[in-house]
């Protein structure tokens, strides 16, 4: 989601997606079997259509109400949808219509805000799909598949700490809205101040702590180092951002025995548990990021002593 520059983590756990490592097929290891035989000629949407009614109702045409650049490379898109209810942390797969095969598949984007008229998406322009998305005009229609995933498990903790890395802020705004009756603080970090977007948070009137790696705003350093100074026994941590940031944060919260929920990123082709392409490694085996997450408790990730190569996590 964000390309916030992260120094190499000194992590003691590992959060890996199927592209960063290449786990052998989860299916071969005896986990849940798919009822669908995948024909390699199928496009993503063919797979979805074969899922029948289960996901058909989640395929929605939305009118674009606005689509504007809010920073040098982040855009905010407001979509009008009818009766769309979602849990903070859920995501949608956005279909980018293109005259070529690039992008071939839908792209996953977290739901930034949920309101009476629909939803908004906050996305960083990083490649062909998001570039084409940023060119969409008000009044055009786009097709989304969602809401998908499970969302954050909103607990009754009185103190809640949200930790965002760059565009990882996207799903945390909807969460902050939900948590308003409790104490909430936002910690957001990025490589530089141009990658910090917190406009909607200003109306929520919650404390916001900023860290930048180049020192251009707030604390000079990593957001995990700043957040660490504010953690105590009675907090719930919710985090979203690049996986190395989440990995570093999980090491901190796990060592302090503080509960944390991490919104993970993995490359997703289908978003609905069919392609098995978004497998992540946990203490109890593979999980599908789209179907079992994308939010996971931090304490399910491996400790280095279980790792075949502890050196690579130093």
Shortest gap between Cβ of 270 and ligand FES (angstroms)?
4
Q: Name the residue with tokens 């209810």.
A: 85
| Interface size with ligand FAD, residues (CB under 6 A) | 22
H/E segment holding residue 212 = strand 208-212
Q: Which is nearer to ligand FAD, 231 or 248 (CB)?
A: 248
Q: Is 73 in the site for ligand FAD (CB under 6 A)?
A: no
Q: Is 114 in the site for ligand FAD (CB under 6 A)?
A: no
Q: Which residues does 73 contact at the CB level (< 8 Å), separation at least 6? A: 124, 125, 126, 195
Supply 206's token pair: 């919650």
- Applying CB under 6 A, the span of 61-69, 135-143, 230-238, 259-267 interacting with ligand FAD comes to 259-267
Out of 128, 216, 299, 307, name the contact with ligand FAD by CB under 6 A.
128
Footprint on residues 171-230 left by ligand FAD (CB under 6 A): none
Q: Is 126 in the site for ligand FAD (CB under 6 A)?
A: yes
Q: Name the residue with tokens 């009756």.
A: 181
- Applying CB under 6 A, the span of 70-78, 210-218, 242-250, 283-291 interacting with ligand FES comes to 283-291
Q: Please say whether the beta carbons of 124 and 64 come within 8 A.
A: no
Q: Please say whether the beta carbons of 75 and 64 come within 8 A.
A: no
Distance CA 188, CA 212 (A): 9
Shortest gap between Cβ of 27 and ligand FES (angstroms)?
11
* 103: preceding bond cis by omega (within 30 degrees): yes
Q: Which does 198 bind (CB under 5 to 8 A by kind): ligand FES, ligand FAD, none?
A: none
| Interface size with ligand FES, residues (CB under 6 A) | 14
Q: Is 290 in the site for ligand FES (CB under 6 A)?
A: yes
Pick from 295, 303, 278, 314: nearest CA to 23: 278
Distance CA 15, CA 201 (A): 29
Q: Is 274 in the site for ligand FES (CB under 6 A)?
A: yes
Q: Which is nearer to ligand FES, 12 or 106 (CB)?
A: 106
Out of 132, 288, 298, 300, name the contact with ligand FES by CB under 6 A.
288
Q: What is the CA radius of gyration of the chain?
A: 19
With residues binned 3-state (H G I as helix, E B as strand, rest as coil), the percentages for the chain, rounded to 5, are 25, 30, 45
Distance CA 93, CA 144 (A): 6
Q: Please say whether the beta carbons of 210 and 218 come within 8 A.
A: yes
Q: Which does 275 bind (CB under 5 to 8 A by kind): ligand FAD, ligand FES, none?
A: ligand FES
Residues that bind ligand FES (CB under 6 A): 268-271, 273-278, 288-291
Residues that bind ligand FAD (CB under 6 A): 1, 91, 103, 107-110, 122-124, 126-130, 167, 170, 265-268, 294
């Amino acid at each position: 989601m964000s390309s916030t520059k992260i120094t190499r983590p000194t992590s003691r756990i590992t959060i890996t997606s199927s592209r960063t490592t290449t786990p052998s097929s989860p299916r071969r290891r005896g986990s849940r079997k798919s009822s669908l035989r995948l024909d390699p000629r199928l496009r993503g949407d063919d797979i979805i259509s074969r899922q029948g009614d289960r996901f058909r109702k989640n395929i929605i045409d939305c009118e674009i109400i606005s689509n504007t650049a809010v920073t040098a490379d982040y855009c905010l898109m407001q979509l009008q949808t009818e009766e769309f209810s979602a849990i903070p942390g859920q995501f949608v797969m956005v279909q980018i219509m293109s005259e070529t095969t690039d992008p071939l598949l839908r792209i996953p984007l977290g739901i930034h805000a949920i309101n009476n008229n629909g939803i908004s998406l906050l996305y960083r322009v990083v490649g062909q799909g998001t570039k084409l998305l940023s060119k969409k005009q008000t009044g055009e229609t786009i097709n989304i598949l969602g809401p998908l995933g499970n969302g954050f498990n909103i607990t009754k903790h009185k103190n809640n700490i949200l930790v965002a890395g760059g565009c990882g802020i996207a799903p945390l705004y909807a969460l902050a809205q939900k948590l308003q009756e409790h104490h909430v603080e936002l910690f957001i970090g990025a490589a530089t101040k141009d990658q910090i977007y917190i406009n909607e948070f200003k109306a929520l009137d919650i404390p916001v702590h900023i860290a930048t790696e180049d020192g251009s705003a707030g604390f000079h350093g990593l957001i995990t180092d700043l957040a660490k100074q504010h953690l105590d026994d009675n907090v719930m941590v919710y985090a979203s951002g690049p996986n190395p940031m989440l990995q570093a944060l999980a090491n901190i919260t796990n060592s302090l025995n503080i509960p944390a929920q991490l919104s993970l990123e993995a490359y997703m082709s289908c978003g609905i548990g069919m392609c098995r392409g978004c497998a992540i490694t946990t203490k109890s085996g593979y999980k599908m990021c789209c179907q079992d997450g994308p939010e996971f408790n931090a304490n399910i990730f491996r400790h280095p002593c279980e790792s075949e190569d502890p050196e690579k996590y130093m």
